[in-house]
Amino acid sequence: MDKKVYETILNGRKLIVEYGQLAKQAAGSVLVRYGDTVVLVAVTVSDQASESDFFPLTVVFQEKLYSVGKIPGGFLKREGKPSEYATLSARVIDRALRPLFSENFRNEVQVVINVLAVNNDNDVRIAALFAASLAISISPIPFNGPIAGALVTIDNNGKIIINPTLDELNNGKMELIVAGTRDAINMVEAGCQEISEDLVLAAILKGHDVVKELISFQDQIVQAVGKQKMQIELFSVRQEIQDFVKANYQQALITSANIASKQERYHQIENINNAALMVYEEKQYKNEKEKKRVMLELNTCLHNVVRDEVRRQITMDKKRLDGRKVDEIRSLTSEIDLLPVVHGSALFTRGETQVMTIVTLGALGENQIIDGITDEEGKRFMHHYNFPPFSIGETRRMGSPSRREIGHGALGEKALAQIIPSEKVFPYTIRLVSEVLESNGSTSQASICASTLALMAAGVPISAPIAGIAMGLVMENDHYTILTDIQGMEDHLGDMDFKVAGSEKGICALQMDIKITGISSEILQEALLAAKKARKVLLANMLATIATPRNHLAPTAPKMKTFMIPIDKIREVIGTGGKVISALIEKSDDVKIDIEDDGQVTIYHKNYESIEKAYQFIKDIVWPAAVGEEYEGKVVKIEKFGAFVNLKEGVDGLIHISKLSDKHVGKTEKIVNLNDLVRVKVLEIDAKGKIKLGLVKIISK
């Protein structure tokens, strides 16, 4: 097949699609060039439907370091497990694509994104999302797309910039990715510097305008090279099973769905499900495959009874599972200082969702080193999120963080980063760990609340307290209801999970996932305003526990001293091969020292005495002596032409033989010997920094 090339202009930069040359055995593949950023996306689909109760979509974001001219670190010198950036990029693309597949499509679909070249002025996530949508759209895979995405920022003058350069993004007040179809928005993710709801909505809508242009471009390509869609049998439940459930279990499930307690509700529903499954377990089947299929249909039918009842009550009766109003928040409690020894801790509870966050402060040198395709080399603020199985009363294998845990931690980090003080104001590395202790929905937003409390308790001078809330949506035909503070089942059975975090002043982070094809700007606006109202309630509760950051650190937190030294003295402080600074650290009880390129020095230790000792050592090196001043020192070397005296750590001066006495001295040892303690006067410091001394007196021999 001959290569076909299609081209358009996206914000002054070329967007080029190449089709027909690469990865031809995949169901669909395209190479997309956005400026100097190049991605190859290949999609494949299984021939048979899987025996699962969900659509098995996998998005793999292959971050290759050759794309930015780097060789991977480590012993193996090859890429290992996905980086955090790769995981988060895959999640963004997954969340945008997933709503456009039928929920009853059960064939496994894999989307593999190969990042081949990266110029960070042309965001690779936008190119990858575009390429993924196009590769699926031209393939035989059933898909209700195409979709596209746009990157948006706002400059300091309030101007909205679409698909900004790296400098524009770094200097902007927002990093927002919006995705959608031609008619609606279906995914939003953003970090914002306390921006108003109106401006955020305007940025989303302006980004959606670009999305529409990109979809029109995709439509042209699909019309030219698109393959006929495969004929598949969508998953459905046979009538016999529907009748069985309706006659025997529907009313019991509806009653159980109205139990307020999560654990009791789940327990009752599980008992009913098990009773129904037991009936079909005892039936005769042709083979194991048929049995699995029937049991899957029965499980789905039982689930749908609960789903339909919960959704009906919310949209028609405005009634929620736990009896709350649609805009009502669950009961709130906030506590601080739960743990000794640690540098800060807090507990935040919202209904049956509970998160404890712990703060740890460290030296700047303890920041996280990043080796990836972005320009980010390290970060001094981290938020990690852990979701153990006991938080939902289950058992499962525990290991490294899941993609979900990484994503929730990153969302909290995105929000909290907006209020963290700068390195100059607060020269510490800050690590937050949010431990989910109970979960019934919106743990990521509870982690933001707990983290804010913990930071203030730890004495971190944040610019403003922030809180997070999760908004939900249930749409049935022309009826829709927006829910404030959704719990687990409302999230699972609803159509939207819209997380909004911010301060009293404005929004700090957004993340919207939906299960329908898209939502209107009117629904978005309504949800944002409801979230703002809820945020004020959360902040009032939190500030009643601690109103402002403490003006001191915990006794166990590392103390620090910051000062400036001349840039040309940095090398002297470090010494050849780090010899001087290593000796200095050892003599000062293992202090930690960070030296910046601009000459800023920060010393850390658990006690001030060790910090002061290290400071004096550095001071002696940097500001060693002054002409005319007298110093005490030890004779460290004898030469024919005089004696070398150590004045301070790393600083020696020479007493020429002619300056040992007013009289003629024939031999240096006649006056001074090795290890004599002497008082000397600085006579001269030459252009090379060499110090010339005169002997004042011998103190001891």
Distance CA 574, CA 590 (A): 15
* Residues paired with residue 177 on neighbouring β-strands, in sequence order: 151, 189
Model confidence at 479, pLDDT cuts 50, 70, 90, reads confident
Which has the minimum average pLDDT: 151-165, 274-288, 316-330, 480-494?
274-288
Question: What pLDDT sits at residue 201?
Answer: 97
pLDDT tops 70 at residue 1: no
Residue by residue, DSSP assigns 280-338 as HHTS--SSHHHHHHHHHHHHHHHHHHHHHHHHHIIIII---TTS--TTPPPPEEEEE--
Residue 74 half-sphere exposure toward CB, CA atoms < 13 A: 11
Residue 649 is classified by DSSP as: T
pTM: 0.88
Which has the minimum average pLDDT: 186-195, 414-423, 613-622?
613-622
Question: What pLDDT sits at residue 558?
Answer: 95
Determine the residue type at 678. V
Model confidence at 103, pLDDT cuts 50, 70, 90, reads confident
Exposure letters 53-89 (e unless 16+ CB within 10 A, then b): eebeeebebbbbbebbeeeeeeeeeebeebbbbbbbb
Q: Is 408 helix (H, G, I), strand (E, B) or coil?
A: helix
Q: Is 216 helix (H, G, I), strand (E, B) or coil?
A: helix
**Sign of the CA dihedral running 261, 267, 269, 272:** negative
Question: What pLDDT sits at residue 286?
Answer: 82
Helix axes 239-248, 288-312, angle to 10 degrees: 50
pLDDT tops 70 at residue 649: no
Distance CA 566, CA 562 (A): 14
Residue 164 Cα distances to 37, 78, 376, 414, angstroms:
14, 31, 17, 19
Q: Is 411 helix (H, G, I), strand (E, B) or coil?
A: helix
Q: In the numeric block, which tokens belong to residue 260?
A: 């307020």
Q: In the numeric block, which tokens belong to residue 272?
A: 């009913």
Q: What is the pLDDT of residues 515-557, one digit of tens each?
A: 998 999 999 999 999 999 999 999 999 999 999 999 999 999 9
Q: What is the pLDDT of residues 636-645, one digit of tens each?
A: 999 999 999 9
Mean pLDDT of 263-285: 90
Mean pLDDT of 156-173: 95
pLDDT tops 70 at residue 210: yes
Q: What is the pLDDT of residues 280-303, one digit of tens each?
A: 888 888 888 888 889 999 999 999
Domains belonging to the chain, first-starting first, are: 4-225 (3.30.230.70), 239-316 (1.10.10), 332-545 (3.30.230.70), 559-622 (3.30.1370.10), 629-700 (2.40.50.140)
Mean pLDDT of 218-244: 93
Question: What pLDDT sits at residue 172?
Answer: 96
Q: In the numeric block, which tokens belong to residue 246?
A: 């309706």
Q: Which residues are annotated as a binding site for Mg(2+)?
A: 491, 497
Q: Is 241 helix (H, G, I), strand (E, B) or coil?
A: helix
> What is the C-alpha radius of gyration for the chain, rounded to an integer number of angstroms?
33
Q: What is the pLDDT of residues 402-456, one digit of tens each?
A: 999 999 999 999 999 999 999 999 999 999 999 999 999 999 999 999 999 999 9
Q: In the numeric block, which tokens belong to residue 361?
A: 């402060």
Residue 337 half-sphere exposure toward CB, CA atoms < 13 A: 9
What is the 3-class SS of 357-377, one letter each residue?
Answer: EEEEEECHHHCEECCCCCCCC
For tokens 């009773």, name the residue: 275
Q: Which residues contact 680 (CB under 8 A, 6 or more apart)?
A: 630, 631, 632, 633, 645, 647, 653, 655, 693, 694, 695, 696
Distance CA 610, CA 559 (A): 10
Distance CA 316, CA 99 (A): 24
**Are the beta carbons of 164 and 172 closer than 8 angstroms?**
yes
Q: In the numeric block, which tokens belong to residue 207?
A: 């980004």
Q: What is the pLDDT of residues 72-82, one digit of tens each?
A: 888 889 988 89
Cis ω for the linkage preceding 146 (within 30 of 0): yes
Distance CA 682, CA 625 (A): 7
